[in-house]
Amino acid sequence: MKELLIIEDNDMMSMFLANYFTNDYSITLSRDHEEALSYFKDENASFDLIISDFKNQSEDEFEILKDLSSKAKIKNTPLVILTDEDYTSERLIAFEIGARDTLSKPFNPVELNLRITAILNQTTRIQQLQNVA
């Protein structure tokens, strides 16, 4: 079963996402990016995809998310960013730091699930091609 790391500080949204995806994925929840970074200190920790909340409210959050993104890249873990507002600037920042996709809240969970499935399928195909080469 694929493993998702969900980073969300809003308890209601966190539980919604966990409940929505629990039948298809193994879920690890994190309240913030700093806690999520601690998972990457364990060399055995492995996630197939990260879903992260992002509010561009402080330079600290941006830097921590940037650090998380770089650690995820090392492990070839795609990052999907959920922004709190439909601001183009937040979506651009998300892509600049390496997010594979971004979606603004409120979002349709079916759309999020389809995007995640597409990303995971693409990642699997890339890994298979790398193994052949």
In whole angstroms, give the CA distance from residue 114 to residue 48.
15
In whole angstroms, give the CA distance from residue 104 to residue 16.
16
pLDDT tens figures, 38-52: 988 877 778 999 999
| pLDDT at residue number 63 | 84
In whole angstroms, give the CA distance from residue 40 to residue 105.
27
| pLDDT at residue number 108 | 95
Output the pTM of the full model. Answer: 0.90
pLDDT tens figures, 53-91: 987 666 777 788 888 888 888 788 999 999 877 777 888
Topology adopted by domain 3-132: Rossmann fold (3.40.50)
Contact 28, 77 (CB under 8 A): no
Residue found by looking up tokens 């992260």 in the block: 52
Picking from 54, 46, 2, the residue whose alpha carbon sits closest to that of residue 27 is: 2
In whole angstroms, give the CA distance from residue 90 to residue 18.
24
In whole angstroms, give the CA distance from residue 44 to residue 104.
32
